[in-house]
Structure 1
Amino acid sequence: FKKSLKMNWPWVWTALCFLYPSVVHGGKVLVIPMDGSHWVNMKVIIEELHSRGHQVSVLRSPDSWYIKETSPFYTAIAVEGESGFDEDFLKKFVSALLKIQKEGKSIWTRLKLEIEQAQKSFEMFEKMSKSLELLLENKDQIQSLKDAKYDLVLTDPGFPVGVILARYFKLPLVFNVRWASHNEGHFLIAPSPLSYIPMVGSELSDKMSFLERVLNVIIFGLAEFNFEYFFKPQFAGVIEKYLGTDTDILSLFQAADIWLMRVDFVFEFPRPTMPNVVYMGGFQCKPAKPLPQHLEEFVQSSGEHGVILMSLGTIIGELPHDLANEIAAAFAKLPQKVIWRHKGDRPAALGNNTLLVDWMPQNDLLGHPKVKLFVAHGGTNGVQEAIYHGVPILGLPLIFDQRDNLLRIDVRGAGKTLDIFTMTADIFYQAIEELLTEPSYRINMQRLSRLHRDQPMKPLDTALFWIEFVMRHKGAAHLRSESYKLPWYSYHSVDVVLFLLTAALLILLIFVWILRSCLRLCFKKKVKSE
């Protein structure tokens, strides 16, 4: 046996080398997610972590609607209290925002939208804060989480619960991020000059006129006001009680080790960034798989005209009957076949060319060669999938960041956006015809697709590399700027400017005093000589 082992030792050693990474580098990850569509892309990372041998635990509230209690990819840990982001609350929130937007575009409408969003955010954060305190007061559960000896916390910073818990457990922190609690993620970590970086909700590009820059600054001011008076107070008590009086919520965000940003610069406007911001836009996109038989048959029946897809996302309830009929009537006039993810009653004007479905394999359909156009609400996931597969977009934005996402497609000539609240069947039909007949839209989107795919590593592999990097090195402090520890007046060098101005003023005063003294001395000598 010894002789055999000695002879085959090189092969044994090779086998051990292949096994070693999966055995030694398998880590333990605590995921504190955000529900809804945010969970859809978090789940992609969780499944990949599981496939690489990592153990994943997910905190789950009793009112979760996307995050399942059981899964082969993770262990769910039930916590008390409300998440503040349950299905019923979110649908009512969305309905209220849509109702306000129907009143038309005006300063008053915009103000009402801001007030509604601030009030609802206040309610959400209040529930989260109470739920977080219940968890921190549950000594048995907290001890269980400590005993698990996790390697890092992976969280979506749309809510601050994961940020606070990571500091409490003294664990490295990785963000799966596009939006933080009160702004787009970059604004919390990277220099963000308002002269060419548009605020979320501004519907502005990186080329702004003077009045647009004024508007951008006003929106920034409103966001900061909401942060100071609606967000910070909700968590100030919890932070002071469990983390100490020298900690504030903003520095907790800025202390994160790695920011996995769900965009890339094929989609986002160019802007300053930081060493610990890693771009993984389109990480959830994959090559298309074969369609179910009934869908493949429907798609093939379109012949040379092709297929149009329509989906308004996962949280939008059924459209008003009149609007659904306008859309259905426009589709009915087209030679193309249409697959429409639709909720509610069947529109009376629906044509024979339109197939209504409760769910569709969106990524696989967008990758089908017969799909010519994507009618979408402008959610980040759908836009990224359209870019990946090179399908032009007709945008019907409804809420949140959707108008800003679609604006980025519009300015690149890869799509067109309509106002769904003033749209008629004729306007909708004309927009579809323009996108189908004008080749520049498809050419531009396919160019974006080529740029997006031309990377040294796939975005998902990049994301996993950096998560595992943080596990291996117990953080990534060397990539993190220390600027977040500076007070605002030091960050903007206000104290330095005041010091230099004071010094210059003192030098000037001394010079004037010396000059006056010299003049007086000269004058005295002249008088004496006379």
Structure 2
Amino acid sequence: MRKSNGSAQMLSLAILSSLLCLTLHTCHGGKVLVYPVEGSHWVNMNILIEGLHSKGHDITVLRSDKSWYIKENSSSYNTITVPVSASLDEEFIAKIVTETINIQRGHSSLFVFVTLLVEMFKKLKEAHVTLKEMIVNILENPELVKSLQDCHYDILLTDPCWGGGTVLAHYLHLPLVYNVRWLPVGEGHFAVAPSPVSYIPLTGSGFSDKMTFIERVKNMLYFGAVVIQDRLTLRPVYQGVCEKYLSPHSDFYMLMQSADLWLMRGDFVFEFPRPTMPNVVYMGGFQCKPAKPLPQDLEDFVQSSGEHGVILMSLGTFVSQLPSDITEEIAAAFAELPQKVIWKYTGERPSTLGNNTLLVDWMPQNDILGHPKIKLFVAHGGTNGVQEALYHGVPVVGIPLFFDQYDNLLRLKVRGGATILSVATLEKGTLLQGLQEVLHEPSYRENMQRLSRLHRDQPMKPLDRALFWIEFVMRHKGAAHLRTESYKMPWYAYHSVDVVLFLVAVLSLIVLIILAVIRYLLRLCNKIKNKVD
């Protein structure tokens, strides 16, 4: 019975896809197929989708029937819902948060680093194995594949954090555009551009671009660990899919590198300077925009703060998974401040909560950060929130939890716009000290205001730049002229190992020949001398 229901679902979504194509042919804009990622990644992908929709393009989004962020019905896009048996959900992410906090709070620093590394490897592999099912289910459905082919999409837009979109683009022979910061392993630049680890820190290392000798050693070791993780655990997950559905000789990593356009969610006001490539377009802060008026109840609360102003706190969607003793300490620290506090929080109400703190399960974060009375932002360090703080020039007290959050906050700290507190040692006193430091030391706000001015001083808004280049790829059926062919080279050729070995061999041969000639001449001289004697 289950198999019959699954077949019926597959047939119905194939029919739906075909109907969508018939509808799309009447439109004048291009046709974009989107293979997105859930969570905060979808938040910024949806902004690109809305921008493309406003310019007259038709967008079709592939989503799973277990999706918890991507709505099935939208005025900006059509959807094709793919049935899967499992997917990443809030519970999966919440477990990662809880385990990460427990590890950090219970062990020495070296043990913490190694343990976190191993746990992240395990969780990432588990996630990719789960998510692989969606691309397999698509390619195993001939009716759906045919309907996708018949739609004649102009491009496939995907977040390569998961590998399914890359595989599908090559299967359908579509130009491939990335909305990217992360690949299945590591940061996007490491796959597309030269990345010397002598001054480019690995995500998770906690280093800046100014590393000591010991830090460079650690950075190199961490790079090696990431390569091993990629080769042994994650790449095989998608390599098997490529070999089965594309070609026995296909290489997933090469396919991933061959994207026409990399829309990078960063810029060099935020990122450390590094080499880049012609097909990398920087759109850092593309989701940011001028603040709109707050809802009246929030505006009244903000205005009630008087001259002291307001603090905004958000640790992301999963703040309710923080241990209760930590949330009690946070609430107690806020209660000591004269500022009003807006705290995005969905857990049990802390008993130490002061009258100055308003708990909300949702708030217009961008609009609050752009309000004249905002004083600082207590954040977990997600890319979206950090870039909104930078855009509005709001200093940050960071409490990173996992993944890239520490590294995001570190980029602000190095530039003097943030301080970072460890969740492992977080208590009322340390939090209060960090809050008061950022509130009363003018340099934090001054530095963030300077970064905001630098970020805004551009000839073109980041979102407009991203939309232009997406349409550029659509108009020209790709952007191969911007893409280096280095991705087709084996590693030993890319790093010129074969050339070095060849030159060493030639040089060695020349030296041997010279030595042989010298030896021969010495022997000849000795023979002549002996004859003379």
Query: Would the TM-score normalized by the shorter structure come out above 0.5?
Result: yes
Determine which of 163, 166, 169 is the counterpart of 1:163: 166
Please list the CA deviations of residues 482-522 of structure 1 after superposition, one character each: whole Å capped at 9, or x if unmatched.
11111111111111111111111111122222222222223
Q: TM-score with structure 2 length normalisation? A: 0.93
Determine which of 282, 286, 304 is the counterpart of 2:307: 304
Determine which of 460, 478, 487 is the counterpart of 1:484: 487
**1:336 is the counterpart of 2:339:** yes
Please list the CA deviations of residues 8-43 of structure 1 after superposition, one character each: whole Å capped at 9, or x if unmatched.
xxxxxxxxxxxxxxx996100000000001000000
Equivalent residue, structure 1, for 2:75 = 72
Superposition pairs for residues 225-236 of structure 1, below 5 Å?
A: 225-236=228-239
**1:416 is the counterpart of 2:412:** no
**2:76 counterpart SS class:** coil
Please list the CA deviations of residues 220-253 of structure 1 after superposition, one character each: whole Å capped at 9, or x if unmatched.
1111111111112212221111111221111011
Distance 2:319 2:259 in 1: 33
Determine which of 455, 463, 481 is the counterpart of 1:452: 455
Superposition pairs for residues 381-420 of structure 1, below 5 Å?
A: 381-420=384-423
Equivalent residue, structure 2, for 1:20 = none
Equivalent residue, structure 1, for 2:19 = none
Distance 2:388 2:367 in 1: 10
Equivalent residue, structure 2, for 1:327 = 330
Distance 1:24 1:149 in 2: 13
> Is the 8 Å Cα contact of residues 160 and 179 (structure 2) preserved in structure 1?
yes
Superposition pairs for residues 130-145 of structure 1, below 5 Å?
A: 130-145=133-148
Equivalent residue, structure 1, for 2:527 = 524
Distance 2:276 2:453 in 1: 23
> Is the 8 Å Cα contact of residues 94 and 321 (structure 2) preserved in structure 1?
no
Q: TM-score with structure 1 length normalisation? A: 0.94
Gaps of 5+ in 2: 1-25
Determine which of 184, 188, 200 is the counterpart of 1:185: 188
Residue 528 and residue 25 in structure 1: after superposition, are their counterparts in 2 closer, same or farther (change >3 A)?
Answer: farther
Superposition pairs for residues 497-516 of structure 1, below 5 Å?
A: 497-516=500-519
Distance 2:391 2:504 in 1: 53
Residue 475 and residue 128 in structure 1: after superposition, are their counterparts in 2 closer, same or farther (change >3 A)?
Answer: same
What's the offset of the Cα at 1:104?
Answer: 3.9
What's the offset of the Cα at 1:105?
Answer: 4.2
**1:66 counterpart SS class:** coil
**1:288 is the counterpart of 2:291:** yes
**2:320 counterpart SS class:** coil
> Is the 8 Å Cα contact of residues 155 and 175 (structure 1) preserved in structure 2?
yes
CA RMSD after TM alignment: 1.4
Please list the CA deviations of residues 155-195 of structure 1 after superposition, one character each: whole Å capped at 9, or x if unmatched.
00100000000000010000000111000111111111111
Runs (4+) of structure 1 moved beyond 4 Å? none
What's the offset of the Cα at 1:82?
Answer: 4.6
Distance 2:508 2:323 in 1: 68
What's the offset of the Cα at 1:98?
Answer: 2.4
> Is the 8 Å Cα contact of residues 67 and 87 (structure 2) preserved in structure 1?
no
Letter in 1 for 2:422: D
Distance 1:43 1:105 in 2: 41
Equivalent residue, structure 1, for 2:277 = 274
What's the offset of the Cα at 1:83?
Answer: 6.2
Please identify, of 442-451 and 124-133, the stretch whose mean Cα deviation from structure 2 is larger. 124-133
Q: In percent, how many aligned pairs have the same letter?
A: 61
Residue 82 and residue 251 in structure 1: after superposition, are their counterparts in 2 closer, same or farther (change >3 A)?
Answer: farther
Distance 1:344 1:151 in 2: 45
Letter in 2 for 1:528: K
Letter in 2 for 1:72: S
Superposition pairs for residues 367-382 of structure 1, below 5 Å?
A: 367-382=370-385
Equivalent residue, structure 1, for 2:216 = 213
Equivalent residue, structure 1, for 2:35 = 32
What's the offset of the Cα at 1:126?
Answer: 1.6
Distance 2:28 2:524 in 1: 82
Distance 2:55 2:318 in 1: 32
